[in-house]
Amino acid sequence: MPRVSIIGTGYVGLCTGLMLAENGHNVTLVDIDPQKVKNVQSGTAPFHEPGLDDALKTQRSTGRLTATTDTQTAIQNTTHTFLCVGTPQDEDGAADLTAIEKAARDVGKALQGIEREHTLITKSTVPPGTTRTLIQPAARNAANDAEGDHLHIAMNPEFLREGSAIEDARNPDKIVIGSDDPETIPRVEILYQNHDAPIVRTDASTAEMIKYANNAFLATKITFANEMANLAETVGADWEDIAQAIGLDHRINPNFFRAGVGFGGSCFPKDVQAIAHLAREHERRSRLLDAVLEANHAQPIRAVDLLEEETGPLEGKRIALLGLSFKPDTDDVRNTRAAPIYDELTQRGAKVTAHDPQAAKNFQDLRPDARIVDTVDEALQGAHGVIVQAAWTAYTKLEPTFFTTHMEDAIVVDGRRALDAEALKQAGITYRAIGQGRRLDA
């Protein structure tokens, strides 16, 4: 029976560990941060993610999931190790591989002289070639097993989304397993025997490239939607209907086609930059991905422009900003579009009052001067306009009268096209959204 250790207890490590424990495997989560280990041991989610607390408590009570700071013992007591450490971005957009290289070395060191089979699996997102040229030699050299007699190496990317991470880990669309040694693939496959998702078996670099290409495609699809939506709005056409019609073409599909203030989060911006950087390094500059990044950078400003078209000059105006996380159902503010929107509003002289159901503290760390209030009432009170940046249910379920009673001027810019436009219009609210060419108040 395989026993699994997981290095790194962030989103990917924690959700992978839970999914494997749910599938009956014994899992040890390893982290250098004692607080994260304490969180897991006490069954408390270290960050906001729907279902995480319950899933943690359940798996703790089965005895199959545990956590430690002791890397060496964890590795020695297990048969498989997943590397789930962060691969942040360095100044020029490349992936910083320092942490993952160290983790690979730590795994090798723990296995030095141990003549038992062990499979080391990269799950972190790493540039193509990293498992083969960096992780494999780092681990095998440290283990004194240069030929890989005992230490087998694979790459198994993760596609889970924040906000639905547990469900995505339980029900992936696909399982990608890459190894340069075909005999290693079944050693990883055994961990997924309770899943019925299709398995793509390939080499390590291709598995790494699949993850980047997957994210780059989705980021490009969203950016295409944004570009078309901006144009639709200008010519008096409506992106919702256009997206629906295009999505009916089975070659395209309607998912991830929502126009808005652009993509944020811990993956899309970082991964597109990393792959664009990799392309430049290989003298194969990706004009497409460079353009995606440029367009995504400009997109949040469109929401501020729409607002100012309705409010007039923003200087001195009171503006509410609802939704500070990069998307609803998470407290993650990494690359959130709320930051450029907040900056643009303040730069144009608006007095901004912000709100978020979960991410207030994290956003306050990003923008210490921001005025963030505890309730939506307070955020809207006396406002001359509001921008909804993340479509939390707390905002989408608001009655139209809530806006009219609290706001000085009922002007709503829906950055995610998530509110009930017709109902708002009926209540006499000025409603604008990216890609909405038909003026509802006309």
Residues classed as catalytic = 267
Cβ(341)–Cβ(264) below 8 Å: no
- What residue ranges bind ligand UDX (CB under 6 A)? 158-162, 215, 218, 222, 256-258, 260, 263-265, 267-268, 326-327
Give the nearest distance from C-beta 278 to ligand UDX in angstroms.
Answer: 18
User: What is the spatial distance between Cα 362 and Cα 360, in angstroms, rounded to a whole number?
Assistant: 6
Which DSSP string corresponds to 300-347?
HHHHHHHHHHHH---TT-EEEEE--SSSTT----TT-THHHHHHHHHH
Give the nearest distance from C-beta 281 to ligand UDX in angstroms.
Answer: 23
Give the nearest distance from C-beta 305 to ligand UDX in angstroms.
Answer: 18
CA-nearest of 275, 287, 297, 365 to 87 is 275
CA-nearest of 206, 173, 204, 176 to 189 is 176
CB atoms near residue 266 (< 10 Å): 20
Give the nearest distance from C-beta 52 to ligand UDX in angstroms.
Answer: 14
User: What is the spatial distance between Cα 77 and Cα 256, in angstroms, rounded to a whole number?
Assistant: 42
User: What is the spatial distance between Cα 126 and Cα 144, in angstroms, rounded to a whole number?
Assistant: 24
Nearer to ligand UDX, 138 or 216 (CB): 216
Helices marked H in 63-155: 71-76, 98-111, 130, 136-142
CA-nearest of 388, 410, 392, 413 to 401 is 410
Residue 313's φ and ψ, nearest 5 degrees, are -45, 135
Give the nearest distance from C-beta 255 to ligand UDX in angstroms.
Answer: 7
Burial class (CB in 10 A: 0-12, 13-18, 19+), 248: exposed
Give the nearest distance from C-beta 381 to ligand UDX in angstroms.
Answer: 27
Q: Which residue has the tokens 């990069």?
A: 326
Give the nearest distance from C-beta 312 to ligand UDX in angstroms.
Answer: 28
User: What is the spatial distance between Cα 213 and Cα 193, in angstroms, rounded to a whole number?
Assistant: 26
On the CB side of 440, how many CA atoms lie within 13 Å of its CA?
22
Nearer to ligand UDX, 256 or 393 (CB): 256
Nearer to ligand UDX, 259 or 352 (CB): 259
Q: Which residue has the tokens 């990393």?
A: 274
Cβ(177)–Cβ(203) below 8 Å: no
Cβ(155)–Cβ(127) below 8 Å: no
Give the nearest distance from C-beta 68 to ligand UDX in angstroms.
Answer: 26
73 Cβ contact list (under 8 Å, min separation 6): none
On the CB side of 13, how many CA atoms lie within 13 Å of its CA?
28
